[in-house]
Structure 1
Amino acid sequence: MATSRPSSEFRFAVITDLHCAWHYLEAFITWVKQTDHPRVDAVFVAGDMLNVSHEPNNQHLAHLTGATMDPPTKSSELPTDSTADTQDYVQLLQKLDTLGIPVYVIPGNHDLWGAYNHDSPIWKNASYPNVHYAHGEVSQLTPPDLWLAGLGGSTPVILKHRPAETVWDGFPYNESSLAADLAFVQSRLECTQTGVDRSTASVVWLTHVGPSDCDTSCVNRDSRLAPSNEEEFGSQALRTHLVTLDQHPWLTNALLVHGHAHGAWGLAHLGPLRVLNPGALRDGRFAVVTLRRPLLESESSTWQIHSCLFQCLDAEPCPTK
């Protein structure tokens, strides 16, 4: 007869792509604080809280590793942030801090440059103790054998069947620089887990861009759904990285969470890995995920998805100032 182990559960909400729709941020915060549903243990923020447009000559700046670009970067000048954007982002983090639970934040391609830099005033002088910078970081979550690996930013959006045609530039990555930073995060993850029982340790990946050739990263806005107009929001470098991780059975990936592709929300598979796009909070969408460890010792001891609930808020726009 199989014996049982103590039950373990971790529940978190995921938001992404607010794009300054502040009324939905207020509605989400109200939802989390309500008591008519199970309490969430943490909130993951997958980027694009603002609507910043970055200059094209700053699109391929490697941030974490400073890797040589291929093709070479067009400019060595770093982006500058406006006072208004900085104030908006700080106020966002202050509001999230009021949730009173851990909030892990990565930036998206429409967030300001300071959101990528842990030494920027946004983070260095932080007055929001519950909010954690997660870009390029490996964070131990409340269960001691559950980890979060974060990487913000995006690569260019291309036409899926004509990959030489760029629909939108990425920021701050191209495929080669994203691959370099993914390898950097992976190395931090493996170093952090030294001395950890890897037979039970599990990892949740939090990225802004999703993997290429995945249902949660592909959008077709053509009313006729012509395949030639399908847009690939996902990154080939991210897909390659995740597939390669399957060669390391001692490091279990419980889930990848991403945003970026607003219309492709849902839950998909990349081999054995579950991939979640909660949908854009600017449209009222977010998701709540419950991870559980199986109770029976005869079953796998790693963390697995127990449930994924997609939510849609109904909120009125905030009054204009």
Structure 2
Amino acid sequence: MEELRQKTRIRILHVTDVHSALHNIVALKTRLETRGERIDLILLSGDNADMEIGARDLSRDAAKIARYEKDMELVIRELESIHSLVVYVPGNHDPITTFDLNASPMTSTSMNLHRKCMRLAGNLCIIGFGGSIPAFKDSKLHWEGFPFETEEDLAKELDPLLQFKPLPSGSNRLDAIEEGDSVILMTHFGPSRTDTTIVYEDISQPILSGSETLRCHLEGDLLQKFAFLNIHGHSHDALGKVQLGNVTISNPGPLREGNYGLYTICKGSKSWRLTSCTYEILD
């Protein structure tokens, strides 16, 4: 981590929606090694395990929780064979225990970033938030949200996180935003009304899976000033990149289907910026 904090150019592997497909992590590792691709950091944006959705009683089933926690740990450990530093948020197919602010990380070198901020390098921070809200098709419920049953439920936890008050520059806090910082926001779900969250299984009745709360924050003055990148997953068939003002929104698609993203970010004279963004798929 100390080595990362000294860098002015960072190569990021973005993986999302693994759904316990360990064989694709193995294939990804082989591909990156064959190419000699150097990675500085892995960002894992949720749906690491493959917990069934629709049975909220699962949150009280200790045996099943333990099973999905183990599945999630296996995913993270496999990714650590690519790079030891894995920063993750839980998705709506991950166990409820992983949304606990006091939950221990799955491994000794990984970090659960849900509802947290972390300093990655000089004047570069990342904020994390997991889970999802319901998705709708033709104004009818199409996918359940977890652990958030409504947009209002999500806003109660997301609003305080994204209404941060920057500290004076030089405060040397590793868990807070300072004036002059650049911010990456890693969420499981993406913002509403973007092509990274609108799923066109039926073009006449698209699935709307994004969050209006998140979009409002991304378009607001605070994140327009500090954030330059919002990475997410969740919407499997809506992969791509869009721009909301100063913020790039990126969904590389699910690793369960062989998709992943590679980003390069570089520090300029005043702030960090995204200098390359590529999406690839395993053979």
Q: In which range does the TM-score fall when normalised by the shorter chain?
A: 0.7 to 0.9
Counterpart of 1:147, as a letter, is C
1:132 corresponds to which of 111, 116, 128: 111
Secondary structure of 2:75's counterpart equals helix
Structure 1 residue 238, shift from structure 2 partner: 0.8
TM-score (norm 1): 0.76
Q: 1:248 to 1:12 in 2, by over 3 A?
A: closer
Counterpart for residue 307 of structure 1: 276
Counterpart for residue 221 of structure 1: 201
Structure 1 residue 11, shift from structure 2 partner: 1.3
Secondary structure of 2:274's counterpart equals strand
What are the Cα deviations for residues 29-66 of structure 1, in whole angstroms up to 9, with x where unaligned?
Answer: 3344x1634411100001012221244557xxxxxxxx
Secondary structure of 2:215's counterpart equals helix
User: Is 1:18 aligned to 2:1, yes or no?
Assistant: no
**Aligned length, in residue pairs:** 271
Structure 1 residue 192, shift from structure 2 partner: 9.7
Provide structure 2 residue ranges, at least 5 long, that are not aligned to the other structure.
Answer: 1-5
Structure 1 residue 85, shift from structure 2 partner: 2.0
What are the Cα deviations for residues 138-179 of structure 1, in whole angstroms up to 9, with x where unaligned?
Answer: 0111x22110100000010012xx43x111110011211211
RMSD: 2.6
1:270 corresponds to which of 224, 244, 253: 244
Query: What is the alpha-carbon distance in structure 2 between the residues aligned to residue 104 and residue 302 of structure 1?
Result: 22
Alignment of 1:248-287 (within 5 A): 251-287=225-261
Query: What is the alpha-carbon distance in structure 1 between the residues aligned to residue 255 and residue 116 of structure 2?
Result: 24
Q: Is the 8 A contact 1:97 1:129 kept in 2?
A: no
Query: What is the alpha-carbon distance in structure 2 between the residues aligned to residue 191 and residue 25 of structure 1?
Result: 39
Identity of aligned residues (%): 28
Counterpart of 1:16, as a letter, is T
Q: Which has the higher contact order (CA 8 A, sep 6+)?
A: 1
Q: 1:185 to 1:248 in 2, by over 3 A?
A: closer
Which structure is larger by alpha-carbon Rg, 1 or 2?
1
TM-score (norm 2): 0.86
Structure 1 residue 96, shift from structure 2 partner: 2.6
Q: 1:192 to 1:166 in 2, by over 3 A?
A: farther
What are the Cα deviations for residues 88-132 of structure 1, in whole angstroms up to 9, with x where unaligned?
Answer: 222222223333431101011011112222544xx26x5x32211
Q: 1:148 to 1:189 in 2, by over 3 A?
A: farther
Counterpart of 2:147, as a letter, is P
Query: What is the alpha-carbon distance in structure 1 between the residues aligned to residue 223 and residue 279 of structure 2?
Result: 31
Query: What is the alpha-carbon distance in structure 2 between the residues aligned to residue 155 and residue 192 of structure 1?
Result: 34
Provide structure 1 residue ranges, at least 5 long, that are not aligned to the other structure.
Answer: 1-5, 59-76, 315-321
Secondary structure of 1:147's counterpart equals strand
Secondary structure of 1:262's counterpart equals coil
Structure 1 residue 198, shift from structure 2 partner: 5.0
